[in-house]
Amino acid sequence: GAVVSQHPSWVICKSGTSVKIECRSLDFQATTMFWYRQFPKQSLMLMATSNEGSKATYEQGVEKDKFLINHASLTLSTLTVTSAHPEDSSFYICSAPRASGRGRQFFGPGTRLTVL
């Protein structure tokens, strides 16, 4: 089946630093990937759509200068949390549709970010 990986799986950083999270589709190409955030005991909230070859599309209320997204290739999207603060601590999950935007989506294992 389709496999999506994320790195790192967890990260602890000091307030004010930037953290980069990678999302890779291992056995298929993805021109579009999605980034979600999940707070404890809550559902997944879509943050942004990562588009290969063009700018990311952000959901309402998500700061694009805070969460930088780069879709570097057909198999890699990165999310950089800039100047992280404790309120950015969360579980970040990426997904990729296998065939097209209509297709079923496959999720990475997630990255748990803790900002001290």
Partner 1 sequence: GIQVEQSPPDLILQEGANSTLRCNFSDSVNNLQWFHQNPWGQLINLFYIPSGTKQNGRLSATTVATERYSLLYISSSQTTDSGVYFCAVAVGSSNTGKLIFGQGTTLQVKP
Binding site for partner 1 (CB under 8 A): 1, 32, 34, 38, 42-46, 49, 91, 93, 95, 97, 100-107, 109-110, 112
Q: Which residue has the tokens 């297709």?
A: 103
Q: Which is nearer to partner 1, 54 or 100 (CB)?
A: 100
- C-beta of 105: minimal distance to partner 1 in Å? 6
- C-beta of 16: minimal distance to partner 1 in Å? 26
Bridging pattern class, strands 19-25 and 10-13? unpaired
Q: Which is nearer to partner 1, 86 or 101 (CB)?
A: 101
CB atoms within 10 A of CB 55: 13
Q: Which is nearer to partner 1, 82 or 91 (CB)?
A: 91
**Residue 116 and residue 104: Cα distance in Å, rounded?**
36
**Residue 91 and residue 10: Cα distance in Å, rounded?**
9
- C-beta of 23: minimal distance to partner 1 in Å? 13
Q: Which two tokens stand for residue 90?
A: 């969360």
Q: Which is nearer to partner 1, 31 or 70 (CB)?
A: 31
The answer to whether the beta carbons of residues 87 and 108 sit under 8 Å apart is no
